[in-house]
């Protein structure tokens, strides 16, 4: 699997800043920290790291900011635990 990082300034060309490769069986969330670590090592850390839901976890949201000074921004994954399916249990508020 290939994970490509690029700049995304609206008024500048988009440039590739890092390419991270893994075996296909490695989940994307396992790649977020190594990607951010590599960007910091190259002196190219973004202020905001925009990612899709597969690259986000609660731990990564905190760790990216605290360790690397990067605001990890992406949608959270739906809550799939048993409590979210039990009537009357606490759950994420839906927009519906």
More confident residue, 75 or 88: 75
Tokens coding 86: 């039990």
Tell me the pLDDT band of 11, cut-offs 50, 70 and 90. Answer: very high
Q: What is the pLDDT of residue 87?
A: 75
Q: How far is CA 75 from the centre of its chain?
A: 9
pLDDT digit string, tens, across residues 78-90: 666 666 677 776 6
């Amino acid at each position: 699997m290939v994970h490509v990082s690029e700049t995304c300034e609206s008024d500048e060309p988009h440039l590739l800043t890092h390419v991270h490769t893994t075996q296909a069986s490695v989940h994307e969330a396992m790649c977020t920290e190594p990607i951010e670590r590599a960007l910091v090592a190259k002196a190219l850390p973004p202020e905001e790291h925009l990612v899709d839901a597969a690259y986000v976890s609660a731990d990564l949201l905190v760790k990216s900011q605290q360790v690397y000074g990067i605001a990890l921004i992406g949608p959270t994954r739906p809550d799939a635990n048993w409590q979210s399916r039990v009537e009357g249990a606490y759950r994420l508020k839906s927009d519906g």
